[in-house]
Chains A and B, each alone.
Chain A
Amino acid sequence: MRAIIIDDERLARAELKKLLQEFPEVEVVDEAANAEEGIAKIESQRPDLIFLDIQMPGKTGFDMLSELERSPQVIFTTAYDEFALKAFEVNALDYLLKPVEPKRLADAIQKLQLGEGKEPRLEAEHTNNSILHENDQVFVKDGERCWFVKLSEIRLFESVGNYAKVFFGPNKPLILKSLNALEERLDEKFFFRANRKHIVNLRMIEKIEPYFNGGLLLELKGGEKIEVSRRQTVKFKEMMSL
Protein backbone atom coordinates (compact mmCIF):
# COMPACT_ATOMS: atom_id res chain seq x y z
CA MET A 1 0.00 0.00 0.00
CA ARG A 2 1.38 3.37 -0.98
CA ALA A 3 0.75 6.01 1.62
CA ILE A 4 1.11 9.76 2.08
CA ILE A 5 1.30 11.42 5.48
CA ILE A 6 -0.39 14.81 5.72
CA ASP A 7 0.34 16.75 8.92
CA ASP A 8 1.54 20.29 9.48
CA GLU A 9 4.07 19.29 12.13
CA ARG A 10 7.32 17.81 10.88
CA LEU A 11 7.91 15.94 14.12
CA ALA A 12 4.47 14.38 13.97
CA ARG A 13 5.18 13.16 10.44
CA ALA A 14 8.58 11.85 11.49
CA GLU A 15 7.04 10.00 14.41
CA LEU A 16 4.37 8.35 12.28
CA LYS A 17 6.92 7.41 9.62
CA LYS A 18 9.00 5.78 12.28
CA LEU A 19 6.03 3.82 13.58
CA LEU A 20 5.18 2.72 10.05
CA GLN A 21 8.63 1.18 9.58
CA GLU A 22 7.22 -1.79 11.45
CA PHE A 23 4.73 -2.35 8.67
CA PRO A 24 6.45 -3.40 5.44
CA GLU A 25 3.07 -3.52 3.70
CA VAL A 26 2.75 0.26 4.02
CA GLU A 27 5.18 2.32 2.00
CA VAL A 28 5.28 6.04 2.77
CA VAL A 29 5.83 7.61 -0.64
CA ASP A 30 5.46 11.26 0.26
CA GLU A 31 4.54 13.83 2.91
CA ALA A 32 2.59 17.05 2.90
CA ALA A 33 2.53 19.88 5.43
CA ASN A 34 -0.87 21.36 4.55
CA ALA A 35 -4.08 20.72 2.67
CA GLU A 36 -3.03 22.40 -0.59
CA GLU A 37 0.16 20.40 -0.72
CA GLY A 38 -1.84 17.33 0.20
CA ILE A 39 -4.25 17.72 -2.70
CA ALA A 40 -1.41 18.22 -5.16
CA LYS A 41 0.48 15.18 -3.93
CA ILE A 42 -2.58 12.94 -3.83
CA GLU A 43 -3.37 13.81 -7.44
CA SER A 44 0.19 13.23 -8.61
CA GLN A 45 1.07 10.18 -6.50
CA ARG A 46 -2.32 8.50 -6.39
CA PRO A 47 -1.70 6.80 -3.04
CA ASP A 48 -3.87 3.97 -1.71
CA LEU A 49 -3.88 5.42 1.74
CA ILE A 50 -3.39 8.76 3.46
CA PHE A 51 -2.77 9.55 7.09
CA LEU A 52 -4.52 12.84 7.61
CA ASP A 53 -4.32 15.37 10.41
CA ILE A 54 -7.55 17.32 11.00
CA GLN A 55 -6.29 20.65 12.31
CA MET A 56 -4.01 22.20 9.76
CA PRO A 57 -3.34 25.78 8.69
CA GLY A 58 -5.46 27.07 5.82
CA LYS A 59 -7.83 24.15 5.41
CA THR A 60 -8.75 21.35 7.76
CA GLY A 61 -8.36 17.71 6.80
CA PHE A 62 -12.11 17.48 6.28
CA ASP A 63 -12.09 20.46 3.92
CA MET A 64 -9.27 18.88 1.97
CA LEU A 65 -11.14 15.60 1.55
CA SER A 66 -14.30 17.24 0.28
CA GLU A 67 -12.24 18.90 -2.44
CA LEU A 68 -10.84 15.63 -3.71
CA GLU A 69 -12.48 14.10 -6.76
CA ARG A 70 -11.95 10.66 -5.36
CA SER A 71 -10.62 9.87 -1.97
CA PRO A 72 -8.05 7.22 -1.17
CA GLN A 73 -8.43 5.23 2.03
CA VAL A 74 -8.04 7.58 4.97
CA ILE A 75 -6.82 7.13 8.52
CA PHE A 76 -7.36 10.33 10.47
CA THR A 77 -4.83 11.39 13.06
CA THR A 78 -5.56 13.96 15.70
CA ALA A 79 -4.19 14.88 19.10
CA TYR A 80 -7.45 15.87 20.68
CA ASP A 81 -10.39 17.35 18.93
CA GLU A 82 -13.81 16.77 20.46
CA PHE A 83 -15.60 17.89 17.34
CA ALA A 84 -13.66 15.57 15.08
CA LEU A 85 -13.92 12.64 17.48
CA LYS A 86 -17.68 13.01 17.47
CA ALA A 87 -17.72 12.96 13.68
CA PHE A 88 -15.58 9.83 13.63
CA GLU A 89 -17.66 7.95 16.11
CA VAL A 90 -20.92 8.76 14.42
CA ASN A 91 -19.70 7.48 11.09
CA ALA A 92 -17.26 4.79 12.17
CA LEU A 93 -14.36 6.38 10.34
CA ASP A 94 -10.95 5.15 11.32
CA TYR A 95 -8.83 7.46 13.39
CA LEU A 96 -5.70 7.44 15.51
CA LEU A 97 -5.02 9.60 18.51
CA LYS A 98 -1.60 11.18 18.75
CA PRO A 99 0.70 10.04 20.28
CA VAL A 100 -0.25 6.95 18.32
CA GLU A 101 -0.37 3.63 20.08
CA PRO A 102 1.41 1.01 17.89
CA LYS A 103 -1.29 -1.57 18.60
CA ARG A 104 -4.04 0.76 17.36
CA LEU A 105 -2.03 1.50 14.24
CA ALA A 106 -1.63 -2.23 13.56
CA ASP A 107 -5.40 -2.72 13.96
CA ALA A 108 -6.20 0.13 11.61
CA ILE A 109 -3.86 -1.15 8.92
CA GLN A 110 -5.13 -4.69 9.27
CA LYS A 111 -8.69 -3.50 8.91
CA LEU A 112 -7.78 -1.70 5.70
CA GLN A 113 -6.10 -4.77 4.26
CA LEU A 114 -9.13 -6.92 4.98
CA GLY A 115 -11.31 -4.36 3.26
CA GLU A 116 -9.01 -4.34 0.26
CA GLY A 117 -9.10 -8.12 -0.04
CA LYS A 118 -12.85 -8.12 -0.32
CA GLU A 119 -13.06 -5.59 -3.10
CA PRO A 120 -9.95 -5.72 -5.21
CA ARG A 121 -9.31 -2.33 -6.71
CA LEU A 122 -8.73 -2.44 -10.41
CA GLU A 123 -5.54 -0.58 -11.15
CA ALA A 124 -6.42 -0.53 -14.82
CA GLU A 125 -9.51 1.52 -14.13
CA HIS A 126 -7.46 4.03 -12.24
CA THR A 127 -5.34 4.88 -15.21
CA ASN A 128 -8.23 6.78 -16.65
CA ASN A 129 -8.05 9.69 -14.28
CA SER A 130 -11.09 11.62 -15.28
CA ILE A 131 -13.74 8.92 -14.87
CA LEU A 132 -14.67 7.72 -11.41
CA HIS A 133 -14.94 3.99 -10.92
CA GLU A 134 -18.00 2.72 -9.10
CA ASN A 135 -15.83 1.50 -6.23
CA ASP A 136 -14.23 4.91 -5.83
CA GLN A 137 -15.23 6.63 -2.68
CA VAL A 138 -16.00 10.28 -2.23
CA PHE A 139 -15.89 12.18 1.03
CA VAL A 140 -19.09 14.02 1.81
CA LYS A 141 -19.39 16.53 4.60
CA ASP A 142 -22.64 18.12 5.61
CA GLY A 143 -22.43 20.35 8.66
CA GLU A 144 -21.24 18.21 11.54
CA ARG A 145 -21.63 14.90 9.82
CA CYS A 146 -19.33 13.33 7.29
CA TRP A 147 -19.24 10.15 5.27
CA PHE A 148 -17.14 8.16 2.90
CA VAL A 149 -19.50 7.01 0.17
CA LYS A 150 -18.79 4.48 -2.52
CA LEU A 151 -20.24 5.65 -5.82
CA SER A 152 -22.07 2.32 -6.10
CA GLU A 153 -24.01 3.22 -2.95
CA ILE A 154 -25.32 6.46 -4.36
CA ARG A 155 -28.84 6.26 -5.78
CA LEU A 156 -29.32 9.73 -7.09
CA PHE A 157 -27.80 13.16 -7.58
CA GLU A 158 -30.24 16.04 -7.55
CA SER A 159 -29.37 19.54 -8.67
CA VAL A 160 -30.04 22.28 -6.09
CA GLY A 161 -28.71 25.55 -7.49
CA ASN A 162 -24.92 25.34 -7.45
CA TYR A 163 -25.07 22.32 -5.20
CA ALA A 164 -25.93 18.72 -5.74
CA LYS A 165 -27.90 16.67 -3.27
CA VAL A 166 -26.46 13.20 -2.89
CA PHE A 167 -28.89 10.39 -2.00
CA PHE A 168 -27.44 7.32 -0.29
CA GLY A 169 -28.83 5.18 2.47
CA PRO A 170 -31.11 7.40 4.55
CA ASN A 171 -28.91 10.47 3.97
CA LYS A 172 -29.07 13.24 1.43
CA PRO A 173 -26.34 15.81 2.11
CA LEU A 174 -25.36 18.61 -0.25
CA ILE A 175 -22.02 18.84 -2.03
CA LEU A 176 -20.65 21.89 -3.78
CA LYS A 177 -20.59 20.49 -7.30
CA SER A 178 -22.78 21.18 -10.28
CA LEU A 179 -24.70 18.35 -11.91
CA ASN A 180 -22.95 19.00 -15.23
CA ALA A 181 -19.51 18.70 -13.64
CA LEU A 182 -20.58 15.50 -11.93
CA GLU A 183 -21.95 14.04 -15.14
CA GLU A 184 -18.58 14.47 -16.82
CA ARG A 185 -16.81 12.54 -14.11
CA LEU A 186 -19.30 9.72 -13.67
CA ASP A 187 -19.14 6.47 -15.56
CA GLU A 188 -22.07 6.52 -17.99
CA LYS A 189 -22.37 2.78 -17.78
CA PHE A 190 -23.72 3.20 -14.27
CA PHE A 191 -25.00 6.75 -14.01
CA PHE A 192 -27.64 8.16 -16.27
CA ARG A 193 -28.76 11.74 -16.69
CA ALA A 194 -32.53 11.30 -16.47
CA ASN A 195 -33.44 14.96 -16.88
CA ARG A 196 -32.18 18.49 -16.28
CA LYS A 197 -32.17 18.03 -12.52
CA HIS A 198 -31.33 14.37 -11.86
CA ILE A 199 -28.62 11.77 -12.39
CA VAL A 200 -29.66 8.26 -11.34
CA ASN A 201 -27.65 5.16 -10.58
CA LEU A 202 -28.90 2.57 -13.08
CA ARG A 203 -28.35 -0.26 -10.62
CA MET A 204 -30.61 1.38 -8.09
CA ILE A 205 -33.67 1.39 -10.34
CA GLU A 206 -36.48 -0.72 -8.96
CA LYS A 207 -39.33 -0.07 -11.39
CA ILE A 208 -39.76 1.50 -14.81
CA GLU A 209 -43.16 2.81 -15.91
CA PRO A 210 -44.29 4.64 -19.01
CA TYR A 211 -45.15 8.26 -18.42
CA PHE A 212 -46.75 11.19 -20.26
CA ASN A 213 -45.55 12.20 -23.73
CA GLY A 214 -43.63 8.99 -24.21
CA GLY A 215 -41.40 9.66 -21.22
CA LEU A 216 -40.59 7.23 -18.42
CA LEU A 217 -40.97 7.22 -14.66
CA LEU A 218 -38.22 5.49 -12.72
CA GLU A 219 -38.71 4.35 -9.16
CA LEU A 220 -35.48 3.98 -7.20
CA LYS A 221 -34.72 1.64 -4.32
CA GLY A 222 -35.11 4.46 -1.87
CA GLY A 223 -38.63 5.17 -3.15
CA GLU A 224 -37.70 8.31 -5.10
CA LYS A 225 -39.65 8.76 -8.35
CA ILE A 226 -37.69 10.32 -11.18
CA GLU A 227 -39.13 11.38 -14.48
CA VAL A 228 -37.04 10.72 -17.59
CA SER A 229 -37.36 13.48 -20.17
CA ARG A 230 -38.57 12.50 -23.63
CA ARG A 231 -35.21 13.06 -25.24
CA GLN A 232 -33.37 11.03 -22.61
CA THR A 233 -35.96 8.25 -22.82
CA VAL A 234 -34.78 7.48 -26.34
CA LYS A 235 -31.23 7.27 -25.04
CA PHE A 236 -32.30 5.21 -22.06
CA LYS A 237 -34.12 2.66 -24.18
CA GLU A 238 -31.14 2.44 -26.51
CA MET A 239 -28.80 1.71 -23.61
CA MET A 240 -31.09 -0.82 -22.00
CA SER A 241 -31.72 -2.72 -25.21
CA LEU A 242 -28.03 -3.34 -25.71
Chain B
Amino acid sequence: MLFFAHAYDVQISTRVLLCRIVIVMVAGIFSTHLLRVFIKWRGWLLQPIEKVIPRLMISMVLMSMIYSLLVLGAIEFFSLSIETAKKVSFWTRFLGSTVDNGLFILPWTLIYYFYHFIEKSRKQQMDTLQLETLIKELELKTIKAHINPHFIFNSLNSIRALVDENPERARKAITELSNILRSSMQADKSETVTLEKELFIVKDYLALENMRFEDRLKIEYEIDEDTLDQPVPPMMLQTLVENAIKHGISKQIHGGIVRVISEFKGHFHEMAVQNTGYLNGARNTEGFGLSSTTDRLNLLYGNKAKFEIKQATATLVEARVLIPFESEIR
Protein backbone atom coordinates (compact mmCIF):
# COMPACT_ATOMS: atom_id res chain seq x y z
CA MET B 1 0.00 0.00 0.00
CA LEU B 2 2.80 2.31 0.93
CA PHE B 3 4.56 1.23 -2.18
CA PHE B 4 1.51 2.03 -4.26
CA ALA B 5 1.09 5.37 -2.59
CA HIS B 6 4.60 6.42 -3.41
CA ALA B 7 4.79 4.87 -6.85
CA TYR B 8 1.76 6.74 -8.09
CA ASP B 9 2.80 9.75 -6.20
CA VAL B 10 -0.76 10.51 -5.22
CA GLN B 11 -1.33 12.88 -2.38
CA ILE B 12 -2.78 10.87 0.45
CA SER B 13 -2.89 12.04 3.98
CA THR B 14 -1.10 9.85 6.53
CA ARG B 15 -4.32 9.43 8.50
CA VAL B 16 -6.22 8.06 5.49
CA LEU B 17 -3.32 5.82 4.60
CA LEU B 18 -3.05 4.36 8.11
CA CYS B 19 -6.81 3.82 8.30
CA ARG B 20 -6.79 2.03 5.01
CA ILE B 21 -3.91 -0.18 6.11
CA VAL B 22 -5.84 -1.13 9.25
CA ILE B 23 -8.95 -1.92 7.20
CA VAL B 24 -6.98 -4.06 4.74
CA MET B 25 -5.33 -5.97 7.58
CA VAL B 26 -8.50 -6.53 9.60
CA ALA B 27 -10.45 -7.58 6.52
CA GLY B 28 -7.57 -9.84 5.45
CA ILE B 29 -7.32 -11.55 8.82
CA PHE B 30 -11.09 -11.86 9.07
CA SER B 31 -11.62 -13.37 5.63
CA THR B 32 -8.68 -15.77 5.69
CA HIS B 33 -9.72 -16.88 9.15
CA LEU B 34 -13.21 -17.45 7.80
CA LEU B 35 -11.77 -19.64 5.08
CA ARG B 36 -9.67 -21.57 7.59
CA VAL B 37 -12.69 -22.27 9.78
CA PHE B 38 -14.64 -23.30 6.72
CA ILE B 39 -11.87 -25.65 5.51
CA LYS B 40 -11.61 -27.24 8.92
CA TRP B 41 -15.36 -27.52 9.29
CA ARG B 42 -15.71 -29.34 5.95
CA GLY B 43 -12.72 -31.53 6.79
CA TRP B 44 -10.94 -30.75 3.51
CA LEU B 45 -7.56 -31.51 5.00
CA LEU B 46 -8.57 -35.15 5.38
CA GLN B 47 -9.84 -35.56 1.84
CA PRO B 48 -7.84 -36.60 -1.21
CA ILE B 49 -6.02 -33.71 -2.82
CA GLU B 50 -7.61 -33.99 -6.27
CA LYS B 51 -11.05 -33.47 -4.72
CA VAL B 52 -9.98 -30.54 -2.60
CA ILE B 53 -8.15 -28.42 -5.18
CA PRO B 54 -11.20 -27.39 -7.30
CA ARG B 55 -13.21 -26.65 -4.16
CA LEU B 56 -10.34 -24.65 -2.83
CA MET B 57 -10.24 -22.62 -6.04
CA ILE B 58 -13.94 -21.77 -5.91
CA SER B 59 -13.77 -20.86 -2.25
CA MET B 60 -10.75 -18.67 -2.92
CA VAL B 61 -12.65 -16.70 -5.57
CA LEU B 62 -15.57 -16.31 -3.18
CA MET B 63 -13.25 -15.28 -0.42
CA SER B 64 -11.55 -12.68 -2.60
CA MET B 65 -14.98 -11.24 -3.29
CA ILE B 66 -15.91 -11.14 0.38
CA TYR B 67 -12.58 -9.56 1.15
CA SER B 68 -12.99 -6.90 -1.55
CA LEU B 69 -16.54 -6.17 -0.40
CA LEU B 70 -15.29 -5.73 3.13
CA VAL B 71 -12.43 -3.44 2.16
CA LEU B 72 -14.40 -1.36 -0.33
CA GLY B 73 -17.40 -1.21 1.96
CA ALA B 74 -15.27 -0.04 4.86
CA ILE B 75 -13.55 2.55 2.67
CA GLU B 76 -16.89 3.91 1.46
CA PHE B 77 -18.31 3.81 4.94
CA PHE B 78 -15.49 5.78 6.49
CA SER B 79 -15.19 7.91 3.30
CA LEU B 80 -11.51 7.20 2.97
CA SER B 81 -11.43 6.77 -0.77
CA ILE B 82 -8.77 8.52 -2.78
CA GLU B 83 -9.98 11.30 -5.06
CA THR B 84 -8.97 9.69 -8.36
CA ALA B 85 -10.63 6.41 -7.50
CA LYS B 86 -14.04 8.03 -7.14
CA LYS B 87 -14.29 8.40 -10.89
CA VAL B 88 -14.42 4.65 -11.34
CA SER B 89 -17.73 2.91 -10.62
CA PHE B 90 -18.04 0.70 -7.50
CA TRP B 91 -18.48 -2.53 -9.47
CA THR B 92 -15.40 -1.94 -11.56
CA ARG B 93 -13.43 -1.27 -8.42
CA PHE B 94 -14.93 -4.36 -6.86
CA LEU B 95 -13.89 -6.54 -9.80
CA GLY B 96 -10.42 -5.04 -9.89
CA SER B 97 -9.98 -5.45 -6.17
CA THR B 98 -11.16 -9.07 -6.30
CA VAL B 99 -8.65 -10.01 -8.98
CA ASP B 100 -5.97 -7.95 -7.31
CA ASN B 101 -6.42 -9.45 -3.88
CA GLY B 102 -7.08 -12.88 -5.26
CA LEU B 103 -3.46 -12.87 -6.44
CA PHE B 104 -2.31 -12.42 -2.85
CA ILE B 105 -4.81 -14.82 -1.33
CA LEU B 106 -4.10 -17.63 -3.78
CA PRO B 107 -0.48 -18.34 -2.74
CA TRP B 108 -1.36 -17.68 0.88
CA THR B 109 -4.13 -20.27 0.88
CA LEU B 110 -2.09 -22.75 -1.12
CA ILE B 111 0.81 -22.43 1.33
CA TYR B 112 -1.60 -22.98 4.20
CA TYR B 113 -3.16 -25.98 2.54
CA PHE B 114 0.07 -27.65 1.43
CA TYR B 115 1.74 -27.09 4.76
CA HIS B 116 -1.04 -29.01 6.44
CA PHE B 117 -1.18 -31.54 3.67
CA ILE B 118 2.51 -32.39 3.99
CA GLU B 119 2.33 -32.36 7.77
CA LYS B 120 -0.59 -34.73 7.67
CA SER B 121 0.95 -37.19 5.22
CA ARG B 122 4.16 -37.22 7.24
CA LYS B 123 2.21 -38.11 10.34
CA GLN B 124 0.33 -40.76 8.40
CA GLN B 125 3.60 -42.26 7.22
CA MET B 126 4.86 -42.39 10.79
CA ASP B 127 1.67 -44.10 11.89
CA THR B 128 1.82 -46.76 9.19
CA LEU B 129 5.46 -47.36 9.98
CA GLN B 130 4.70 -47.84 13.64
CA LEU B 131 1.80 -50.10 12.79
CA GLU B 132 3.96 -52.15 10.47
CA THR B 133 6.60 -52.75 13.12
CA LEU B 134 3.89 -53.72 15.56
CA ILE B 135 2.40 -56.21 13.12
CA LYS B 136 5.86 -57.56 12.38
CA GLU B 137 6.53 -58.15 16.04
CA LEU B 138 3.19 -59.82 16.57
CA GLU B 139 3.65 -61.99 13.52
CA LEU B 140 7.06 -63.15 14.65
CA LYS B 141 5.67 -63.99 18.06
CA THR B 142 2.76 -66.06 16.82
CA ILE B 143 4.88 -67.84 14.25
CA LYS B 144 7.50 -68.74 16.79
CA ALA B 145 5.10 -69.89 19.47
CA HIS B 146 3.49 -72.35 17.11
CA ILE B 147 3.86 -75.94 18.25
CA ASN B 148 1.47 -78.55 16.99
CA PRO B 149 -0.92 -79.50 19.81
CA HIS B 150 -1.48 -82.84 18.14
CA PHE B 151 2.18 -83.58 18.74
CA ILE B 152 2.07 -82.54 22.39
CA PHE B 153 -0.90 -84.71 23.29
CA ASN B 154 0.30 -87.68 21.28
CA SER B 155 3.66 -87.44 23.06
CA LEU B 156 2.01 -87.27 26.46
CA ASN B 157 -0.02 -90.33 25.55
CA SER B 158 3.09 -92.26 24.51
CA ILE B 159 4.85 -91.20 27.68
CA ARG B 160 1.98 -92.52 29.75
CA ALA B 161 2.31 -95.88 28.03
CA LEU B 162 6.07 -95.85 28.62
CA VAL B 163 5.70 -95.22 32.34
CA ASP B 164 5.04 -98.95 32.79
CA GLU B 165 6.87 -100.32 29.81
CA ASN B 166 10.14 -98.40 30.02
CA PRO B 167 10.28 -95.96 32.94
CA GLU B 168 13.79 -94.83 32.03
CA ARG B 169 12.68 -93.83 28.53
CA ALA B 170 9.58 -92.17 29.97
CA ARG B 171 11.71 -89.98 32.23
CA LYS B 172 13.89 -88.99 29.32
CA ALA B 173 10.85 -88.24 27.19
CA ILE B 174 9.46 -85.90 29.83
CA THR B 175 12.75 -83.98 29.80
CA GLU B 176 12.68 -83.78 26.01
CA LEU B 177 9.11 -82.54 25.95
CA SER B 178 9.87 -79.95 28.64
CA ASN B 179 12.81 -78.67 26.61
CA ILE B 180 10.64 -78.22 23.55
CA LEU B 181 7.85 -76.49 25.43
CA ARG B 182 10.30 -74.21 27.18
CA SER B 183 12.15 -73.21 24.04
CA SER B 184 8.90 -72.54 22.20
CA MET B 185 7.89 -70.20 25.00
CA GLN B 186 11.26 -68.47 25.10
CA ALA B 187 11.60 -68.24 21.37
CA ASP B 188 9.92 -64.84 21.18
CA LYS B 189 12.63 -63.22 23.27
CA SER B 190 15.32 -63.25 20.63
CA GLU B 191 15.38 -62.77 16.88
CA THR B 192 17.98 -65.42 16.25
CA VAL B 193 19.70 -68.25 18.12
CA THR B 194 22.78 -70.29 17.28
CA LEU B 195 22.20 -73.35 15.16
CA GLU B 196 23.62 -75.43 18.00
CA LYS B 197 20.80 -74.33 20.30
CA GLU B 198 18.19 -74.89 17.63
CA LEU B 199 19.57 -78.37 17.01
CA PHE B 200 19.12 -79.30 20.67
CA ILE B 201 15.40 -78.72 20.24
CA VAL B 202 15.25 -80.50 16.91
CA LYS B 203 17.01 -83.51 18.42
CA ASP B 204 14.66 -83.60 21.40
CA TYR B 205 11.71 -83.28 19.07
CA LEU B 206 12.86 -86.07 16.77
CA ALA B 207 13.67 -88.28 19.77
CA LEU B 208 10.06 -87.89 20.89
CA GLU B 209 8.71 -88.59 17.43
CA ASN B 210 10.96 -91.62 17.33
CA MET B 211 9.35 -92.81 20.54
CA ARG B 212 5.94 -92.49 18.86
CA PHE B 213 6.78 -93.92 15.45
CA GLU B 214 9.41 -96.40 16.67
CA ASP B 215 10.91 -98.31 13.74
CA ARG B 216 8.82 -96.33 11.25
CA LEU B 217 11.11 -93.35 11.68
CA LYS B 218 14.82 -93.23 10.84
CA ILE B 219 16.75 -90.08 11.67
CA GLU B 220 20.02 -88.89 10.15
CA TYR B 221 22.04 -85.75 10.77
CA GLU B 222 24.57 -84.28 8.37
CA ILE B 223 25.78 -81.23 10.22
CA ASP B 224 28.94 -79.33 9.30
CA GLU B 225 30.39 -78.48 12.73
CA ASP B 226 31.49 -75.05 11.56
CA THR B 227 27.87 -74.07 11.00
CA LEU B 228 26.95 -74.65 14.65
CA ASP B 229 27.77 -71.05 15.58
CA GLN B 230 25.65 -69.57 12.80
CA PRO B 231 22.68 -67.49 13.95
CA VAL B 232 19.36 -68.86 12.74
CA PRO B 233 15.75 -67.81 13.38
CA PRO B 234 14.51 -69.78 16.38
CA MET B 235 12.09 -72.66 15.73
CA MET B 236 12.55 -72.44 11.98
CA LEU B 237 14.47 -75.67 11.43
CA GLN B 238 12.13 -77.16 14.01
CA THR B 239 9.08 -76.15 11.93
CA LEU B 240 10.60 -77.77 8.84
CA VAL B 241 11.30 -80.99 10.72
CA GLU B 242 7.79 -80.96 12.14
CA ASN B 243 6.43 -80.56 8.60
CA ALA B 244 8.58 -83.44 7.41
CA ILE B 245 7.00 -85.66 10.05
CA LYS B 246 3.45 -84.38 9.67
CA HIS B 247 3.20 -84.41 5.88
CA GLY B 248 5.86 -87.01 5.16
CA ILE B 249 6.50 -89.78 7.65
CA SER B 250 3.08 -89.90 9.30
CA LYS B 251 1.44 -90.40 5.89
CA GLN B 252 3.63 -93.38 4.99
CA ILE B 253 2.42 -96.76 6.20
CA HIS B 254 5.99 -98.03 6.39
CA GLY B 255 7.40 -94.73 7.56
CA GLY B 256 10.70 -93.46 6.27
CA ILE B 257 13.70 -91.30 6.89
CA VAL B 258 14.20 -87.72 8.08
CA ARG B 259 17.58 -86.19 7.29
CA VAL B 260 18.69 -82.87 8.75
CA ILE B 261 21.48 -81.11 6.85
CA SER B 262 23.45 -77.96 7.62
CA GLU B 263 26.40 -76.72 5.57
CA PHE B 264 27.97 -73.71 3.89
CA LYS B 265 27.10 -73.15 0.23
CA GLY B 266 28.93 -70.22 -1.32
CA HIS B 267 27.84 -67.09 0.48
CA PHE B 268 25.02 -68.84 2.22
CA HIS B 269 24.40 -71.04 5.21
CA GLU B 270 22.18 -73.83 3.95
CA MET B 271 19.83 -75.80 6.15
CA ALA B 272 17.83 -78.61 4.63
CA VAL B 273 15.37 -81.21 5.84
CA GLN B 274 14.76 -84.24 3.67
CA ASN B 275 11.99 -86.71 4.28
CA THR B 276 10.44 -89.74 2.65
CA GLY B 277 7.25 -88.70 0.94
CA TYR B 278 5.69 -87.10 -2.07
CA LEU B 279 5.16 -83.44 -2.67
CA ASN B 280 1.68 -82.64 -3.87
CA GLY B 281 -0.23 -79.48 -4.66
CA ALA B 282 -2.37 -79.78 -1.57
CA ARG B 283 0.67 -79.42 0.60
CA ASN B 284 1.16 -75.80 -0.36
CA THR B 285 -2.23 -74.80 0.88
CA GLU B 286 -2.24 -76.71 4.13
CA GLY B 287 1.23 -75.79 5.33
CA PHE B 288 1.07 -73.05 7.91
CA GLY B 289 4.68 -73.95 8.55
CA LEU B 290 5.76 -73.29 4.98
CA SER B 291 4.13 -69.91 4.50
CA SER B 292 5.33 -68.82 7.93
CA THR B 293 8.89 -69.84 7.04
CA THR B 294 8.81 -67.69 3.92
CA ASP B 295 7.28 -64.79 5.86
CA ARG B 296 9.82 -64.99 8.65
CA LEU B 297 12.77 -65.06 6.26
CA ASN B 298 11.32 -62.03 4.49
CA LEU B 299 10.86 -60.16 7.73
CA LEU B 300 14.36 -60.92 8.97
CA TYR B 301 16.51 -60.86 5.83
CA GLY B 302 14.41 -59.11 3.21
CA ASN B 303 14.92 -60.84 -0.13
CA LYS B 304 18.45 -62.00 0.65
CA ALA B 305 17.34 -65.32 2.10
CA LYS B 306 15.79 -68.15 0.10
CA PHE B 307 13.36 -70.90 0.90
CA GLU B 308 12.20 -73.70 -1.34
CA ILE B 309 10.59 -77.09 -1.12
CA LYS B 310 10.87 -79.67 -3.85
CA GLN B 311 10.78 -83.34 -4.72
CA ALA B 312 14.51 -84.04 -4.52
CA THR B 313 14.41 -87.69 -5.60
CA ALA B 314 11.59 -90.06 -6.46
CA THR B 315 10.87 -90.73 -2.79
CA LEU B 316 12.50 -87.79 -1.00
CA VAL B 317 11.05 -84.34 -0.40
CA GLU B 318 13.52 -81.61 0.48
CA ALA B 319 12.85 -78.29 2.21
CA ARG B 320 15.80 -75.91 1.95
CA VAL B 321 16.61 -72.59 3.59
CA LEU B 322 19.50 -70.37 2.47
CA ILE B 323 20.51 -67.64 4.89
CA PRO B 324 23.17 -65.05 3.98
CA PHE B 325 26.26 -64.92 6.22
CA GLU B 326 25.99 -62.85 9.35
CA SER B 327 28.81 -60.58 8.19
CA GLU B 328 26.94 -59.72 5.00
CA ILE B 329 23.77 -58.58 6.68
CA ARG B 330 25.52 -55.96 8.76
Contact = CB atoms under 8 A, between A and B. Distances in A.
B146 to A, nearest CB: 14
A11 B212 contact: yes
B289 to A, nearest CB: 16
Interface stretch (A12-20, A143-151, A153-161, A194-202): A12-20
Interface on chain B toward A: helix, strand, loop, or mixed SS?
A: helix
B211 interface: yes
A11 B161 contact: yes
Band of interface residues on A: 20 to 34
B150 A9 contact: no
A10 interface: yes
A55 B162 CA distance: 21
A123 interface: no
Contact of B157 (A8, A36, A81, A98): A98
Contacts of A222: none
Interface in B41-76: none
Given A79-B154, A99-B160, A14 B165 contact: yes
B250 interface: yes
Interface in B156-173: 156-158, 160-162, 164-165
Contacts of B157: 9, 11-12, 15, 79, 98-100
B162 A11 contact: yes
Contacts of A97: 153
Contacts of A18: 161, 164
Contacts of A100: 157
A169 interface: no
B213 interface: yes
A18 B161 CA distance: 8
B248 to A, nearest CB: 10
Interface of B: 149-154, 156-158, 160-162, 164-165, 211-214, 250-253, 255
Interface of A: 8-12, 14-15, 18, 34, 36, 55, 57-58, 79-81, 97-100
23 contacts: A9-B154, A9-B158, A10-B214, A11-B157, A11-B158, A11-B165, A11-B211, A12-B158, A14-B165, A15-B157, A15-B160, A36-B253, A57-B251, A79-B151, A79-B152, A80-B149, A98-B153, A98-B154, A98-B156, A98-B157, A99-B153, A99-B156, A100-B157
